Structure 1
C-alpha cells in the first residue's frame, strides 16, 4: 500500500490517563501492539485509556512508511485526499504559541477518532461551543489548543458500557432531590435552590441547583455517607423511585455507578452532579449514543469507539481534584438545561443499503446528527465505493486482506487513512474467524437517511 494509492497505513499512539484499564485488560492497550511503531514498548502495568486516530496536534498520526512524516503534513502536500472536507471545514488551528499547533495548521481531517477504554469515571465535562472555544484559545492556548466545538458520538465495543450524558427528565431529578435523605444535610443555599426547582422545574431553576451541586468539593463527607449507605442497602435504597428511568436494571446500574465512584473517587461530589441530574445510559455491543456540544457527560465503564469534531477543548467540573476543576460559572454559560431521554440520544444504525457505497452490504452505518463525520462497521467481506472526503479505519478483530493484497495481512490494531476518491476491498483471511473494522469518514454525498445530514 503506497501513498499514491490513497490507502495509507498509519502509526497512532495511546494516552495513559489513569482512568484507563491496565495493560492487557485494555482494548486500547492491546491494539497498540500493531497500531504503534514496531519498537513501541507495551507496558503491562500501565493504564491505556485512549488510542487517538487523526491529525490533532495533541496526539497526531504519522505515516507508517516514514514515522517522521505527520499525516497532516502529508495531507497538506496532497490535499486531493481531503476531498470536499477541505472546502467545507476551516482549520481549527491558529498556530498560536503554546497551542502545540505552531507547525501543524494545515492538512487536517474534520474529525478525531478514538478507541476508548475506562475502568472508572472520566472527569465530568462539557466542551465549549465555537464562540467560547475561540475566546478560551486566545486566553490560554496551551489548555485550549484549538478554536473548534466538540460534538461527539460513542459506540459500544464491549458487552456493555455505562456513561452519564445530558440531563434527565425533570421528574426524575425531582425524585432524587426529594428521596435521598443525605441531601437534607447540605447547605441552606442548596436547599433553597432545590426547593425552587421542585416547586417550578424549569431550565433556569435547574441551572441554579446544578451549579450549586457542582461547586461541592472532591472530598465531601455527605457523598461518602451516601456511598456507604448504598453499599449496604443496594437497590433497596431506591425502592421508592418510580416510573421511567427506575426499572430494576436501571437501579442496579445506579448502584454499580455509586460503587465505582466510591472505589476510585470516594467523596467526590461529581457523583451527585451526575447521578442525580444526568441520564445513566447503558449501551450494549454496537449500540451508540450522541452528546451534543452543549451536553455534560462522564463516561463510566467499558470500551467504545468515540468520534468527534476535531478538537481537544474540554472543561472539567467533577470526578477530578478541586484544583483542576474549571470555573463552573463559565461552564454553565454553554450548557443547555434541557432534558433528553436516553432513547433520543441513541443512534440509529442500519445496513449500508446503498450499493453506490457498499457493494456486498456487509456494513452497518450509523445515522449521526453532526456535520463533520459519520461512522460504519464492517463485519464481513465487503467492497466500499469511494467517499468524497477522508476516512480512517481501525481493525478491531481478525486478520484482513485489503484491496486483494495477498502479500500483506492486516491485523488487529492496524490503522489506515483512506483518501477521498479511494475505493477499498475488505476480505477476511479466514471466513470462519470473527472480523470487525470501524471506519470514521466524511462524505457529503452519502445517503442522508443513512448517515445523517452532511
Structure 2
C-alpha cells in the first residue's frame, strides 16, 4: 500500500567542531532510528544530522545530521534503504505535488539539519545566487551547486592583518579591565575561549568579538541569517533549515589552509541584519494547527517555512494538509502520529517525510515536540 508518511534514516557528519559521542544531539538522533545502521562511537566528534543553505533559520536545541535529499548526505527510506530522492522521483505528483514540482522541480528545496557544536564554527557566509553560480562554474568540486556586495573595509583589514598585529590587539584587549567593555561584557570571557580553540593569531577572534552581534538563544528562539550575512555558531544544539545549497565561504576561526580568499569573502559580505533584535525570527501562531499548539517560523524567502508543535501530556494537535512536501524531526518526548488511517510511533530523534496534502494528528504521551519544515507554492 502506498504511503505519504515515510520514516527516514539520516546520516551524521563528522567535523572537528562537533560534540563527542553521546554528548552530540545529532549523533543521539541518528542512533535513535529503529533498525538504522548508524552506530554511535564515543571517540568521534559528530557535528550534523540532516534537517531544515545559503539562507538559514535556526531554533535552539547543536555535530551535523542532514535530512532530505541533498546529494552529499542523502536520507534513506528506513523500510527499504532506498535513496529518498529516488523514491520521490518515482512518485512525484503524489509525494511532492504539482505546485512544488512546477516551482522547484522534484528536488526538495530545503535540507533540514541538527547541529551539535562543541567549539566555534568558522566565520562564514553563504554566497547569494549570482556569486554561487560564478563560484560553481570556476570550482564545481568546492562549490557543488549554484543556489543561493558591498565591501566591508574594517573586516577586510582585520582578516588581512599579520599574525603579529592580531596578537598585539588580542593582548591589548586581554589586558583591558572588564568594566571598560560596558554592555559588551561578554568579550573578556569569550576572548580566551576562542583563542584557546584556535590560536591568538586567528583574525576570527577579533572579527567575531568586535564587529558581530552576540546572541544567546533560549529554547524556542529562532534567528534568520540571509545570504552573504556573516555568522559563526559558538556552542550548543540547534535545528537548522536552509535553502538547498551547501556552498560556504570561510575565513577566521579555522586553520589557515582552510580559509578562503579575504578579497572574495569581503566582496561578498554584508552586515545584515545590523543588530541582534533584527536577526530574531519571531514565531507566530499558525492556523495550520487546529488546536492552538503549533507556531510558524516564516523566513523572508520562498523555499520553506517551519511548523513547531509542542504538546503537554495527553494533549493533541491536528495539522491541516500541507500543499507541498515536508520533513519532520521529533525534537522531544513521545507519542502517536495518525495519518491516512494508520498510526505511527513518534519519539525523540525520529525523522519522517510527509507527503503532499496529508493531514497529521498527534497525541502526546508525557509530552511531544516536533519541527516540521515544508514548502508550499
Question: TM-score band (shorter)?
Answer: 0.7 to 0.9
1:396-415 correspondence to structure 2 within 5 Å:
396-403=331-338, 408-415=344-351
In the aligned structure 2, how far is the partner of 1:134 from the partner of 1:425? 42
State the SS of the aligned residue for 1:318: coil
Aligned CA-pair RMSD: 2.3
Deviation at 1:213? 0.8
1:117-156 correspondence to structure 2 within 5 Å:
117-149=116-148
In the aligned structure 2, how far is the partner of 1:113 from the partner of 1:385? 21
Correspondence for 1:18 among 16, 19, 29: 16
State the SS of the aligned residue for 1:87: helix
In the aligned structure 1, how far is the partner of 2:18 from the partner of 2:140? 26
- Greater fraction of residues in helix: 1
State the SS of the aligned residue for 1:60: coil
In the aligned structure 2, how far is the partner of 1:5 from the partner of 1:70? 16
Q: What does the per-residue CA deviation read over 1:210-255, in whole Å, with 9 as the maximum and x for residues that have no partner?
A: 11211246xx35555665676676xx43x2345xxx2xxx513x33
1:364-375 correspondence to structure 2 within 5 Å:
364-375=295-306
In the aligned structure 2, how far is the partner of 1:365 from the partner of 1:50? 23
Q: Which range is displaced more, 320-329 or 307-316?
A: 320-329
Correspondence for 2:103 among 88, 92, 111: 88
In the aligned structure 2, how far is the partner of 1:6 from the partner of 1:408? 12
1:167-182 correspondence to structure 2 within 5 Å:
none
Runs of 4+ in 1 over 4 A off after TM superposition: 221-233, 404-408
Correspondence for 1:303 among 222, 237, 240: 237
Deviation at 1:128? 1.1
Other-structure match for 2:45:
47
For normalisation by structure 2, the TM-score amounts to 0.87
Other-structure match for 2:55:
none
CA separation of 1:62/1:338 partners in 2, compared to 1, >3 Å: closer, same or farther? closer
Deviation at 1:139? 1.8
CA separation of 1:340/1:36 partners in 2, compared to 1, >3 Å: closer, same or farther? farther
> Do residues 363 (structure 1) and 294 (structure 2) align?
yes
> Do residues 62 (structure 1) and 76 (structure 2) align?
yes
Quick check: 1:384–1:425 contact (8 Å CA) kept in 2? yes
Q: Which range is displaced more, 207-216 or 108-117?
A: 207-216
State the SS of the aligned residue for 2:290: coil
For normalisation by structure 1, the TM-score amounts to 0.73
CA separation of 1:36/1:321 partners in 2, compared to 1, >3 Å: closer, same or farther? farther
Number of paired residues? Answer: 353
Other-structure match for 1:426:
362
1:66-77 correspondence to structure 2 within 5 Å:
66-67=80-81, 69-77=82-90
In the aligned structure 1, how far is the partner of 2:25 from the partner of 2:172? 34
State the SS of the aligned residue for 1:369: coil
1:91-102 correspondence to structure 2 within 5 Å:
none
Other-structure match for 1:341:
275
In the aligned structure 2, how far is the partner of 1:136 from the partner of 1:116? 26
Deviation at 1:407? 6.8
Quick check: 1:13–1:36 contact (8 Å CA) kept in 2? no
Q: Which runs of 5+ in 1 are unaligned?
A: 91-106, 150-202, 445-454
Correspondence for 1:282 among 216, 241, 244: 216
Deviation at 1:36? 7.7
Correspondence for 2:28 among 30, 36, 52: 30
Deviation at 1:256? 3.6
> Do residues 257 (structure 1) and 187 (structure 2) align?
no
Deviation at 1:287? 0.5
Deviation at 1:443? 2.4
